[in-house]
Amino acid sequence: MRRVALITGSSGLIGQELCREFISQGYHVYGVDLRPQEGQENFTPITCDISKEEDIKKVFLAIKELHVLINNGAQADPYNKELHKLELSAWNKIIGTNLTSVFLMSKYAIPLLKISQGTIINISSTRHQMCEPHTEIYSTAKGGVVSLTRAMSISLGPTVRVNSISPGWIHDPHEKLSEVDHRQHPAGRVGVPKDIAKLALYLSSSDSSFVTGQDFIIDGGMTVKMIYQEQ
């Protein structure tokens, strides 16, 4: 039986790997992104601004069946101005792309997912737990993604399961990093996109049928590591 996945942010670092892994497992993938992409076997690109409801409505005119929705699309740069200098327009733009889009994509996917008894996977970030200065908008949006995940899992269960993944530092495997970058992680290395994609495959499979409403942190152990300022 053909299975269908819809993945937002499909042209990004994690998004591309999600698409590759799901295609390798026999899925037909609809890749949604603001940037135009080229189609290929078992991959249908859709250009869409995920912060706009009218764009999302058009996406679902083209999709007649769906088994997995992965809300991965986001504006990735976490840094903003000092809070007292922030414009409301900047707040609304990032919240719209990084949080409201999860609500909108899920809203229109739910009727199809109820038919297939499918799965929603939302990509959050460890920044909802660990923050740097001047990351208020991004951190708020990613925290909202986790809260929305938990609420939806209760509203949609048992027909549709909903989980989230919170990546830590994920880098392009083709980029060279220092040994210090790797050693600071308790796991001994910085993460790669495949780490996220493999978990997403598990959460989409029947092997995880007892798993819903959870946020899975993949960060090489950094969120449990106590760090003191060096003297």
Residues 6+ apart with CB under 8 A from 48: 8, 32, 33, 34, 55, 56, 58, 59
Q: How far apart are CA 41 and CA 29, in angstroms?
A: 9
Sequence-ordered alpha helix ranges (H) in the chain: 13-24, 53-61, 88-95, 101-116, 136-156, 179-183, 193-204
Bond prior to 193 in cis (omega within 30° of 0): no
Amino acid at 98: N
CB atoms within 10 A of CB 19: 26
To the query of whether residue 79 is one of the catalytic residues in this protein, the response is no
CB 67, CB 28: distance < 8 Å: no
Catalytic site residue from 27, 30, 108, 138: 138
The one-letter amino acid at 153: S
Write out the catalytic residue numbers.
138
